[in-house]
């Protein structure tokens, strides 16, 4: 086989493999919602915000499942996408959604909350988040906590913790000990991301907040940011560097 032809064949096979890999790692896909697995028990749900400032923005949330129970971190961006996610968890995965947790007060965390309430799913957020939503208006989570919330899903604990201000003053993160996975939400940036929306941010304290997470959870397997591709603890290092004084 001549080299140019061989190159074309190899390139074509590579493209096919990449396409198949993408297809195999997406368990649900519609124009408004994508669900991708991190493990057999943990999934990232991705919905899409149309922002006049940042354009078409993919917004991440997390689903963790154990023994036919599920927890959701952050709702999809609106009620229609939330309905799709709820349907997938309940009717495809055959799980009861035990809780939905909003990690801060912005719409990419609570935009679909009304749909969860319609399905009588218990919602949680920090008291600071609930107060911020009350001030700006919008559907509010029903149950509040101060700095830490532990919920058992199936036989596994989940921990929601406030470490300090960053993207917002109220942002919390979710940790799944059995998977060693952190849902950082908008407190954590994907690799090579810009600073993003700083309207409600505390950029001075942001790197110190991330440092606290690193100290308490030093060996994370997966870190999921609020927007973009997940990775490992390098995302924490990148976020610290992005908001350090040297980066300003």
* C-alpha span between 70 and 62 (Å, rounded): 10
Q: Is 189 a catalytic residue?
A: yes
CA R_g for the chain: 19
Token reading at 140: 């509010």
Q: Is 106 a catalytic residue?
A: yes
Q: Is 104 a catalytic residue?
A: yes
Exactly one of 117, 197, 200, 214 is catalytic; name it.
197
Exactly one of 41, 79, 171, 227 is catalytic; name it.
227
Long-range contacts of 18-23 (CB under 8 A, 24+ apart): none
What are the angstrom distances between the C-alpha of 52 and each of 21, 56, 181? Answer: 33, 9, 32
Q: Is 108 a catalytic residue?
A: yes
Q: Is 186 a catalytic residue?
A: yes
* C-alpha span between 55 and 76 (Å, rounded): 17
Exactly one of 66, 74, 108, 170 is catalytic; name it.
108
Q: Is 117 a catalytic residue?
A: no
Exactly one of 60, 66, 167, 171 is catalytic; name it.
167
Exactly one of 41, 60, 104, 171 is catalytic; name it.
104
Q: Where in the sequence numbering do the catalytic residues fall?
A: 104, 106, 108, 167, 186, 189, 197, 227
């Amino acid at each position: 086989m001549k080299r140019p032809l061989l190159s074309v064949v190899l390139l074509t096979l590579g493209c096919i493999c990449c396409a198949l890999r993408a297809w195999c790692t997406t368990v649900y896909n519609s124009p408004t919602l994508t669900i991708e697995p991190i493990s057999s028990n943990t999934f990232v749900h991705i919905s899409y915000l149309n922002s006049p400032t940042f354009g078409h923005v993919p917004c991440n949330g997390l689903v963790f499942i154990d023994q036919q129970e599920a927890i959701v971190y952050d709702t999809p961006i609106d009620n229609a996408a939330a309905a799709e996610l709820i349907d997938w968890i309940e009717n495809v995965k055959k799980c009861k959604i035990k809780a939905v947790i909003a990690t801060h007060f912005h719409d990419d965390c609570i935009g679909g909350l009304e749909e969860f309430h319609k399905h009588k799913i218990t919602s949680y957020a920090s008291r600071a988040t609930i107060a911020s939503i009350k001030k700006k208006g919008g559907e509010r989570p029903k149950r509040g906590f101060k700095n830490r919330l532990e919920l058992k899903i199936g036989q596994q604990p989940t921990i929601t913790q406030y470490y300090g201000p960053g993207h917002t003053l109220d942002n919390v993160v979710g940790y799944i000990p059995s998977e060693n996975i952190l849902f950082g939400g908008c407190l954590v940036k994907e690799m090579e991301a810009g600073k993003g929306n700083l309207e409600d941010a505390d950029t001075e304290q942001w790197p110190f907040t991330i440092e606290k997470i690193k100290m308490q959870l030093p060996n994370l397997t997966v870190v999921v940011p609020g927007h973009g591709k997940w990775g490992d603890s390098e995302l924490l290092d990148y976020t610290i560097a992005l908001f350090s004084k040297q980066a300003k």
